[in-house]
Amino acid sequence: MAITETFRSDLMLHEEDIKQGFWVQDDVHLSHALTPLFASFMVPAVTEGTKVAFENLKMPLSQFRYKLADGRIYQYTVPYPGDLQERLEEHKKTIGAILPLLNQHLRNYVDQEFLPFYRSLDEDSKRALTVGEAKEKLLGLFDFYRRAWQLHFEIILPRTAFIALEQMYGQLTGRADSAVVYDMLAGVMNKSLETDRELWKLSDWAKQSPVLVAAFAEEATEMGYKVRIEQTEEGLALLKRLQDVLEIYGQRSTNSHEFNDEIWAENPEYALRIIARYIKKDYDFDLEFAETVRQREAKAEEVIAGLPEMELKQTFVMMYQWALDSWGLDEDHHFYIDAMLPAKSRLFLLNVGRLLVDQGVMEDKGDIFFLYLDELLAMLSNPTPLHAQIGQRKAEYEENKLKQPTPFYGTPPEAPMDPALERIFGGKPPEIQEQTFTGYAASQGSYTGTVKVVRVPEDFSKVQQGDVLVCKTTTPPWTVLFSIVGAIVTDAGGILSHAGTVAREYKLPAVVGSKVATSLLKDDDIVTVDGTKGVVHFGQQS
């Protein structure tokens, strides 16, 4: 998408678009309202990036098209126009060559493209920029966003081929519980778990200090924990250790996909609140993770030993090893692309915002996020005060955050959803009875507990040990809650969504993609979450 006079209009969902396709609100990855500037980057990046990636992977789809309505992203999955069977054969050959090398592909792209670009962004975030440099760097970022999301899909989509493990398991055993193969993929270290472990290690260190234990014993006030602990020598030592951790793991924010949200590296309070939770509970990350690995290895040994000796078993074992080697990819690609790209971009954009403040275009550097990219480039060339317009945009953004989004526009297609996409996005309608509703059985087990509905990270503090987390969806910054809660229920996603994948790592019963959990349930309801059958029982008495 070129930055032309129609740039802003091209971002928006119009009636003509609705006539051409079925547009679904992406409530798995982008359930929140977006600022104008982030939408300016994200909509073209995914629309154009998937077109290239899908062609490179010979996908049986043409692309994902993104459009904006009421500040939220809607996605149209454009069907492949040619011979579908022929395309599927091409896709199988292409993916077959990639599967053994998935992790290596990510590492190569991270080392050769992402990290060098991030280092350049870091430099441009700290130095004074001329107007010409700012425009040049903005256009460079715009181009890189498209490249990043092309690579994002080339890295992550081949992983969906591992659903073949389910099919092979069913053929080999004759059993219907084929999702058991995902229990054989738990206990694989990834960047989200690494982050949790580093914060747990800091909390374990802090527990040795009675001063720090006392400081974290009470809930944080509006001032936060930092103000409280930096008055002591032990607190300053903890903050120094935390700073070192956040230099590596702090490139994340609440929603990941947004420029407007403060990142952990800017404000240690987010991490301190997680550390406080770990200090207050009896928890050993290393022991828990080692047990997950032990159970995974035992399950894999049991399943493989029980398979009949035939060629299909050999194929199953080979593909299982490929899957195991690359299973951390889902969280790792998020760390380096979904989270780190907007986090690094945010700091650079705030630096550009300083230029516009100096030029009198706006009052605060953060106001830059409420301009569309075409406006931003124009204002750099011809500064004009936009105080009233920015104020209106901020008000619209707050209104959009409160709106209940329309779930889709257009006529649903008659063809069933692609199974691989369903594993990620979900999509099946729930079955609602008098005291039960269904979703996807994402992580086995049953648990009865008290509901806490978490809509925004500000709600994290109300979640207590053993509660049932009920939310629309989760992203890596939510992972801290997984070591606290007893079960998870989401509105969005399939069994390979973030919530489903991480629930299995923490051995939490989980039902995902229910569509209705946050509507039917409220705080302090008592529910039973059956993660084996994908059913939630509600209306119980405490």
Paired with 432 in beta bridges are 437
Instruction: Catalytic residue, from 29, 257, 333, 498: name it.
Output: 498
Structure letter (DSSP) for residue 489: E
Q: Can you give the three-state secondary structure of 310-367, one letter per residue? A: CHHHHHHHHHHHHHHHHCCHHHHHHHHHHHHHHHHHHHHHHHHHHHHHHCCCCCCHHH
Paired with 490 in beta bridges are 471
Respond yes or no: is residue 257 known to be catalytic. Answer: no
Exposed/middle/buried for residue 225 (C-beta within 10 Å: 0-12, 13-18, 19+): buried
H or E element, residue 25: strand 23-25
Q: Number of C-alpha atoms within 13 angstroms, CB side, residue 514?
A: 33
Alpha helices in 99-158 (DSSP H): 102-109, 115-126, 131-156
CB 211 within 8 A of CB 223: no
H or E element, residue 450: strand 446-453
Bridge-based pairing of strands 526-530 and 23-25 is: unpaired
- The rounded distance, in Å, linking the Cα atoms of 408 and 394 is 25
Bridge-based pairing of strands 487-490 and 510-512 is: parallel
Active site residues: 498
